Amino acid sequence: GRFVEEDGSVMYYATYTAYNGRAILPQLIETQDFLNFRVLTLNGSAVQNKGMALFPRKIDGRYVMLSRQDDENLFIMFSDNVHYWNDPEILMRPAEVWESVKVGNCGSPIETEAGWLVITHGVGPMRKYCIGAVLLDLEDPRKVIGRLKVPLLCPEGVEREGYVPNVVYSCGSLIHGDKLILPYAMSDKFTVITSVSLEEILAALKGG
């Protein structure tokens, strides 16, 4: 995602899960021009599992990252160095039936005037994956100030059929005009793009 440094310069970061045949570790890609890239191993006791996603700017002078250390809850962590991560804190636990098995993020948080918009995924009974959303406080993202009680999207019809059935999943979204643009995969078979009114989703989050 696009990260704006405190001096106004821009760096693009992406995290991904690497496997060398023996070990699985999150890695970080850095670029400023999409011509030259640096691939770096993240370090620290919190560097494990999947779902690591960087906030697009520092908050109170520190980098902030979402993560899933235990494959059940969504965590948040802070660091003075983007390459070192320790001391994750639980941000949210499963709450609704559709996310009763585990919750996680779908990409990096998106900054809005109302707060940090985080698209989430939840796993419920029969390993059904749905997509939801939460809203975090702009100044202190450890505070969840809004959370959808019902999912934005659940697998229906042909979306349920594929290599990994009964799943809708996204790795990121963006705001375009007054819409949230959400690409998502259907059961690891197809990728489609949908959109939702940003005003409506924020109103639902603030109301919930």
Quick: pLDDT tens for 86-145: 999 999 999 999 999 999 999 999 999 999 999 999 998 888 889 999 999 999 999 999
**pLDDT at residue 43 above 70?**
yes
Q: 198 and 128 in one domain?
A: yes
Q: What is the band of 38 on the pLDDT scale with cuts at 50, 70, 90?
A: very high
Q: How many domains in the chain?
A: 2
Q: 101 and 166 in one domain?
A: yes
Beta carbons of 111 and 56 less than 8 angstroms apart = yes
Query: Across the chain, what does the average pLDDT equal?
Result: 90
Query: Which residues have CB under 8 Å from 204's CB, separation 6+?
Result: 148
Q: 13 and 59 in one domain?
A: yes
Q: Can you give the residue range of the structural domain that contains 161?
A: 94-208
Cα(129)–Cα(171) distance, rounded to whole angstroms?
13
**pLDDT at residue 161 above 70?**
no
Q: Which of 71, 92, 113 is the last residue of a domain?
A: 92
Q: Is 198 helix (H, G, I), strand (E, B) or coil?
A: helix
**pLDDT at residue 162 above 70?**
no
Q: 127 and 85 in one domain?
A: no
Q: 206 and 124 in one domain?
A: yes
In the chain, what percentage of residues exceed pLDDT 90?
A: 67
Q: Which of 92, 121, 154 is the last residue of a domain?
A: 92
Q: 71 and 48 in one domain?
A: yes
Res 164: pLDDT:
60
Q: 77 and 104 in one domain?
A: no
**pLDDT at residue 148 above 90?**
yes
Q: 69 and 18 in one domain?
A: yes
Within its chain, how far is the Cα of 187 from the centroid? 19
Measured in degrees and rounded to the nearest 5, phi and psi for residue 91 equal -95, -45
Res 50: pLDDT:
76
Q: 184 and 161 in one domain?
A: yes
Mean pLDDT of 32-44: 93
Q: Where are the beta strands (DSSP E) in the chain?
A: 2-4, 10-19, 24-31, 38-41, 53-54, 63-67, 74-79, 89-92, 102-105, 110-112, 115-123, 129-136, 144-147, 168-169, 174-176, 179-186, 190-197
Q: 111 and 83 in one domain?
A: no
Mean pLDDT of 148-156: 88
Res 206: pLDDT:
87
CATH number, domain containing residue 159: 2.115.10.20
Q: 105 and 170 in one domain?
A: yes
Poorest-confidence range of 45-59, 118-132, 147-161?
Answer: 147-161
**pLDDT at residue 159 above 70?**
no
